[in-house]
Amino acid sequence: MTTTAPAPDAAAAGPAAGPAAAPGSSPWQLARRELRRRPAVRVSLCIVVLFALMAVTAPWLGALGGWSPHEFDKSAVDPYLGGQPIGVLGGISPEHWLGVEPVTGRDLFARVVHGAQVSLLIAFAATAIVVLAGTAAGIAAGYFGGRTDTVLSRLMDLTMSFPSLIFMIALLSVAKDVNRIVLMTVVIGIFGWPGIARVVRGQTLSLKHREYVDAARVGGAGPWRILTREILPGVAGPVIAYTTLLIPGMISTEAALSYLGVGVRPPTPSWGQMIAESVAYYETDPMYFVIPSVFLFLAVLAFTLLGDALRDILDPRGGRS
């Protein structure tokens, strides 16, 4: 007599592979499911949302603290000790939640909150320029090929060959009577697009001969329809992952330029500018250095961890390479 045993492989594989292979799961559903399983990423996402809300509501948060970022409070500093904050931990008190700036007595909470608005505005705007320009150039180079690919690829190489930080410092030093936030956004964006363009070009080369693209082409679809309906959705995952990884680099670049004195001009606050001004007081008032540095560190770390997770989920092959 023969007996039929249950297929262990199929039974064992069913529950394990169920979530990943669930029919009808979109990339966003898979990303949401995976993000819920990673505690560090959940914390990072909460920090990112918190900083974004801080930037959007900066005027109201500053008013909630009771101080303007440009308002001096001479009663919070000791004129006989070189303008050192009165009290412990840099003058932290019910009136000044994060302490005050030495000499001027400006409220650090108000300046950190408004600095988040400036720093994140520049980072997000520059990232948008980089993503739009890089995606457009990468798709055009990969899909059309030939002379278009040659010209755009050489332009990518030329842009990447520039010592971007030195060039940005020189350009921002020469341009005096302009809006510094707009200028920094444009300059940072100009030097950032070739990286994502190369990623998108490689993805487009692997997609343009797929069956569904050939079917659309045979069906009479024009280049614009193929690029927007067939190619662009296929490169969206890597672009989203790359975008999230770009933001912490943009925040760091803005902070570095402001730290070097060619970024946002006083009295407009930014985290990099505050760190630069605090260097002269780090021995006598270390909290003035610690507070903006902690905010900058948390923002960069949170965006980096979130970007790494999205890259692993939306572009696993790119994450391994």
Q: Give pLDDT tens digits for 53-81.
A: 999 998 898 888 888 888 898 888 888 88
pLDDT tens for the chain, residues 1 to 321 = 444 444 444 343 443 333 444 444 555 666 677 677 778 788 888 999 999 999 999 889 888 888 888 889 888 888 888 788 988 888 888 888 898 999 888 999 999 999 999 889 999 999 999 999 999 999 999 999 889 999 999 999 888 888 877 888 887 777 777 788 888 888 888 888 898 999 899 989 988 888 888 888 888 888 888 888 888 888 888 888 888 888 888 988 888 888 888 888 877 888 888 888 888 888 888 899 999 999 999 999 999 888 888 777 776 655 444
pLDDT, residue 318, reads 52
Q: What is the pTM of this model?
A: 0.81
- Check if the beta carbon of residue 138 is closer than 8 Å to that of residue 200: yes
pLDDT, residue 147, reads 92
Q: At what angle do helices 271-278 and 286-314 cross, to 10 degrees?
A: 140
How far apart CA 230 and CA 212 sit, in angstroms, is 8
Element (H, E) at 203: helix 180-207
Among 120, 153, 314, 312, which residue's Cα sits nearest to residue 234? 314
- Check if the beta carbon of residue 279 is closer than 8 Å to that of residue 272: no
Among 20, 61, 50, which residue's Cα sits nearest to residue 37? 20
- Check if the beta carbon of residue 116 is closer than 8 Å to that of residue 126: no
Strands (E), the chain: 77-78, 84-85
pLDDT, residue 103, reads 87
- Residue written as tokens 């296929």? 234
Residue type, 17: A
How far apart CA 68 and CA 301 sit, in angstroms, is 28
- Check if the beta carbon of residue 33 is closer than 8 Å to that of residue 19: yes
pLDDT, residue 259, reads 85
Mapped to the 3 state alphabet, what secondary structure does 39-79 carry?
A: HHHHHHHHHHHHHHHHHHCHHHHHHHHCCCCCCCCHHHEEH
Q: Which two tokens stand for residue 82?
A: 């070189």
Residue-wise pLDDT tens digits, 90-147:
888 888 889 899 988 899 999 999 999 988 999 999 999 999 999 999 999 999 988 9
- Give the Å distances, CA to CA, from 60 to 121, 155, 181, 212, 284: 17, 44, 21, 51, 31
- Check if the beta carbon of residue 242 is closer than 8 Å to that of residue 311: yes
Residue 16 neighbours by CB under 8 Å, 6+ apart = none
